[in-house]
Amino acid sequence: MKTAGIVSYGGYVPRYRITPEVIGAVWGNDGAAMGRGLNIRAKSVPGPDEDVITMSVEAARAAMAKVPWVSPKDVGAIYVGSESHPYAVKPSATIVAEAIEAAPVMTAADYEFACKAGTAAMQTCMGLTISEMYKFGMAVGADTSQGAPGDALEYSASAGAAAFLIGTEKPIATINHTLSYTTDTPDFWRREGQRYPSHGGRFTGEPAYFKHVLSCAQLLLKKTGTKPEEYDYAVFHQPNGKFPLRAGKQLGFSEKQIDTGLLVREIGNTYSGAIMVGLCAIFDVAKPGDRIFAVGYGSGAGSDGFDLTVTDEIKELKKGGRTMADMVADAVPLDYATYAKYRGKILMREVA
C-alpha cells in the first residue's frame, strides 16, 4: 500500500487583530487578565470582504503555488472543513475548486465537525489517494468563528485557514499513521439558524478536550511505538494557549516542541484551521527528517491524530510566498467599534 502525505501546504490569516484588553474594556472585564488566563495576546479578525470561502481560496492558491509541477486538473477532490461556511446550503468547496482551476471533473464537498473538519478532510483525501481513486486531494480547514458579544469565546474566536494538498507523489511530509478517537460528547454546538454557538462551560475541558486529545494521542503513540521525545514538533488543537500546553505536558512533550505551532497566542483560535495553521508554521521551518506529532480536536466530539515525517521534498517547494510568521506579524489592530462593524455585529438600517 502506498503512503500518503502532505504534498504542499498553504495557510492564511487575516491581518486584522483585536486584543483581549480592547474586548474586556467594552464589557467591563479585566481583558488583560482574561488574555493571560487564555494565553492569548490577540486574535485575528476577518476583514469585511473575507469569509471562509475567500480564506480557503487564499490558502488553496498558496498551496498550489508552492508546487507548480502539480496540475490543478489532477486535484480530484476538494473538501472544505468549517463550522462557519457562508452558506447553509451551497458548498464552499466548489468555489475553491473553481478558484484553483480544479473543476469540473472532480468531486467537492463541505465538511463540518466543529474544529476538526479540516483534519477529517485530510483523512478522506488520504484514503482517496492511497486507493488511487484520485492523484491528489485538497483538504481545507477554515473558519471565521463566532463568539457571542460578551461571551468568554469572544476573546478567542478568530479567523484563519489552511489547505493541504494530499497525495502519494513527492510528499513534503509523509503521514506515517493517523488515528481518530470519537464519542458523542455535546460540549459545544450551534443549531441551525443560530448565530452564535453554545457551550458547556467547564464541561468543554476535562471530559471533552482533554479526554479526546489525550486518548487520541496516547493511542497514536502506542500505535506508532514512538515516544514524545522522538518528535521535533508537536501541535495540539488550540482553543486557547493554555490547553495545548497542558495536554502536551501531560503527554510528555516539552514547550519547545509545541512552541512553533502554537499560533493561538498571536492570532486566537482559528477553529477548523487551528492545528493546520500550526502545521503550516512548522513546515515553514522544518527540515527533512523532522518528525511531527499532531492531534486536532473537534467538539461534539473527536480527535484526529497524525504522525508525520518531513521529507527531502520540502526543499523543492517553490519559494516566494508569505510564511505564517509573515502573516502573523502583519497585524493591523482594531478598536471594538471597527471590529463590531467588520463582524456584522452592528444592526444596520433595513432596506425598504
Positions marked active-site: 83, 115, 237
SS3 content of the chain, % helix, strand, coil (to 5): 40, 25, 35
Q: Does 206 bind another protein (CB under 8 A)?
A: yes
Q: Does 150 bind another protein (CB under 8 A)?
A: no
Q: Does 287 bind another protein (CB under 8 A)?
A: no
- Interface stretch with another protein, choices 41-49, 100-108, 121-129, 197-205 (CB under 8 A): 197-205
- Report in angstroms how near the CB of residue 341 gets to another protein at its nearest: 28
**Given candidates 203, 325, 336, 341, which one binds another protein under the rule CB under 8 A?**
203
Residue 305 corresponds to which amino acid?
A: G
Cell numbers at residue 151, please? Answer: 461571551
Q: Does 202 bind another protein (CB under 8 A)?
A: yes
- Interface stretch with another protein, choices 86-94, 176-184, 202-210, 250-258 (CB under 8 A): 202-210
Closest CB to another protein among 33 and 332? 33
Closest CB to another protein among 66 and 199? 199
Residues 156, 268: contact at Cβ < 8 Å?
yes
**Given candidates 47, 72, 149, 200, which one binds another protein under the rule CB under 8 A?**
200
CA separation for the pair 279, 324 (Å, rounded): 10
The residues near 162 (Cβ < 8 Å, ≥ 6 apart) are 9, 10, 11, 12, 59, 118, 140, 141, 142, 273, 276, 277, 279, 280
- Interface stretch with another protein, choices 141-149, 163-171, 200-208, 315-323 (CB under 8 A): 200-208
If we measure between CA atoms, which residue out of 142, 107, 152 comes closest to residue 11? 142
Closest CB to another protein among 30 and 101? 30
**Given candidates 2, 32, 33, 287, which one binds another protein under the rule CB under 8 A?**
33
Closest CB to another protein among 99 and 208? 208
- Report in angstroms how near the CB of residue 317 gets to another protein at its nearest: 45
Cell numbers at residue 331, please? Answer: 497585524
**Given candidates 149, 207, 228, 321, which one binds another protein under the rule CB under 8 A?**
207
3-state SS, one letter per residue, for 242-282:
CHHHHHHHHHCCCHHHHHCCCCHHHHCECHHHHHHHHHHHH
CA separation for the pair 280, 178 (Å, rounded): 18
Distances (CA, A) of 161 to 7, 63, 91, 142, 286: 17, 11, 16, 4, 20
Return the residues of window 216-275 that contact another protein according to CB under 8 A. Answer: none
- Report in angstroms how near the CB of residue 242 gets to another protein at its nearest: 16
**Given candidates 68, 201, 225, 320, which one binds another protein under the rule CB under 8 A?**
201
Closest CB to another protein among 31 and 46? 31
- Residue 320, phi then psi, degrees to nearest 5: 120, -25
CA separation for the pair 331, 286 (Å, rounded): 24
CA separation for the pair 121, 133 (Å, rounded): 15
Binding stretches for another protein (CB under 8 A):
30, 33, 200-203, 206-207
